[in-house]
Chain A
Amino acid sequence: MDISGVIDYLIGFTIMAIIYAIFALGLNVHWGFTGLFNIGIAGFFALGAYTAALLTSPPPDPDQFEDFIFGGDLANQGLLDLGVDAWFFLGLAAAAVVCGLVALIVGTITLRLNDDYLSIATLGIAESVRFFFLNEKWAANGSKGLYRIPKFLGDVVAPENYDYLYVVVALVILLILFAAVQRAVRSPWGRVLRAIREDEVATAASGKNVFHFKLQSFVFGAMIMGIGGALFAHHVRFLSPLTFDPLLATFVIWAMLMVGGSGNNLGAVLGAFVVWGVWAGTQFLPGVFSDPSFRLLMIGVLIVAIMLLRPGGLLGEWRRIVASRPASAAARDSTDPG
């Protein structure tokens, strides 16, 4: 591999790491800040990806024996003939809205109950979404998948250089989402979420409507995941239900958050790069070591190592420090520690 080949590879790697960083951010809202045990990230991943893909793909081609009903291609329909590039953004927004609505319904049903019910429900949703797209051929071409998902700004650069453009697009979207999440979790809103994570009863006794805040957190995190899914669809430009197996669409994202540091947004992003680095890097190992199951084992080893050496992840949770008042120095000297 020559040097430009290496750079091309690294760019492709970075795009995937950025997309995973977006999922890790969404999971951080759920788990890191609110303590919502979402083990069905794959469901929102798939919904976001399929939503964006169906809205922007060309209509089904009978010559290819495609017979799914909704060909989308809204980009070239008369009513909203804005072109593919505008529809890229509308697809992103639609992915967020669809995931948000599903989260709203699932959350309304399960978030009043014990924590366990949310995990069961999210796991169930993820598998249902996958099997829906697998078995209901009319919806999105079943196991043959969607493979004509258009590029965003595809006319602007030559195909062989396209990833250089898309990495910038993905990075900009990551930065926007990062800023939005960061602002939200460091505000009083985020303070209520962290309080819920620590103790729901105490948070309710402090006058907060725990259910409402949990629902907001669940919907917000799911919308971020939807955007991640949409970005993924326009990057790989081929979706089949097999893409969204629990291993690479849920487990790996949990690994990223645990390694990077739950409750720390920078940690979530760092964890995405580290874990995706281990996953992608191990494929170059010789012989049996490049076997997918061995590579997965390496992620497991990484999690165990982090849990033993740095239980809070590479970057621990951020803590707000307030300058103490000069007057309180006197109080300190006179206070008898309890």
Chain B
Amino acid sequence: MTDSSPILQVCNVTKDFGGVRAVDRCTLDVMPGTITGLIGPNGAGKTTLFNLAAGDLSPTSGQILFDGMVISGLQPHQTFSRGLMRTFQIPRELRRMTVLENLMLVPARQSGERLWSTWLTPWKVARQERQIQARALDVLELVNLSHLANELAGNLSGGQKKLLELARTLMAKPKMVLLDEPGAGINRTLLRDLSANIVRASVERNVTFLIIEHDMRFVMTMCDPVIVMANGSVISEGTPSAIQRDPQVLEAYLGGRISGPA
């Protein structure tokens, strides 16, 4: 862990849905450059926390800071432009668009996104499109989906959709990525590719990762530190081995010992 200030700070955040308190005075820090794991039993509030950080929801109370700036209450496209990207637990692929188009959508500030530019400076738009397409094809190769470039995203398998979600984050240049169960439904071979891609992005491009995952083998090998949530707040935080010995964590998981695939 570095000794610089946290890139993501969740400060005493609460989120109520009617009478249900999904996140309860939750406080946690994520240090830049880390691959931090976020685990906890179902209903612990992990995905809600992602929704709050990414701007899909606003907290009932409390603040979330990213890079020292308050981001709670911003819209998703605004958190994106500050360098915070997220993926979805249930993949939200653009079904009737090709895999390549799903990726080419992502880069920010495309000149062809301005209606008049498409008419007045089509050559500029076309040149930028070629660059974006080349980058998208590179990313597809990275996640081994090149052969599906022209396939409609809705036709992909569950695991391939998960890879497409990850590929989306590789198309932009985020400072931090929130991955919501990237490994769910992915076979062992693809999971190894996925881990390799995360590590590569972390090392080569200094991207910070916060990963929700139920596959304990994945969490224990990939993530350090690991944060444990239960009933809407953080109950433990530390290295993977320390977490595995924490009695509070064991209790949260119904007294079970943390081992192997969940």
Contacts and interface: CB of A to CB of B under 8 A. Distances in A.
Interface of A: 180, 183-184, 187-192, 194-195, 197-199, 201-210, 216, 220, 263, 317, 319-322, 324-325, 327-328, 331-332, 334-338
Given A207-B108, A208-B105, A324 B147 contact: yes
B118 A332 contact: no
Given A205-B86, A331-B146, A334-B144, 12 more contacts: A187-B112, A187-B125, A189-B115, A194-B101, A195-B94, A195-B105, A205-B56, A206-B105, A207-B80, A209-B77, A263-B96, A337-B157
A320 B147 contact: no
Name which of B110, B158, B160 has the most chain A CB atoms within 10 A of its CB. B110
18 contacts: A184-B118, A188-B105, A198-B95, A198-B97, A202-B92, A204-B80, A205-B56, A207-B80, A208-B77, A319-B98, A320-B101, A322-B137, A322-B150, A324-B146, A324-B150, A328-B140, A331-B144, A335-B147
Interface size grouping (class) on chain B? 35 or more
Contacts of A322: 98, 100, 133, 137, 149-150
Contacts of A187: 112-113, 117-118, 122, 125
Contact of B190 (A324, A327, A338): A338
Contacts of A198: 94-97
A257 to B, nearest CB: 16
B80 A205 contact: yes
Name which of B94, B133, B150, B186 has the most chain A CB atoms within 10 A of its CB. B94
B189 A336 contact: yes
A338 B158 contact: yes
A205 B118 contact: no
B64 interface: no
B159 interface: yes
B198 interface: no
B114 A332 contact: no
A116 to B, nearest CB: 20
A205 B112 contact: no
A188 B115 CA distance: 9
Q: Which 10 A-B pairs have the closest CB atoms?
A: A338-B159, A188-B112, A328-B146, A207-B80, A202-B92, A187-B118, A332-B147, A204-B76, A198-B94, A338-B160
A222 B117 CA distance: 20
Contacts of A183: 118-119, 122
B252 interface: no
A197 B147 CA distance: 25
Contacts of B100: 320, 322
Interface in B77-134: 77, 80-81, 85-86, 88, 92-98, 100-101, 104-106, 108, 110-115, 117-119, 122, 125, 128-129, 133
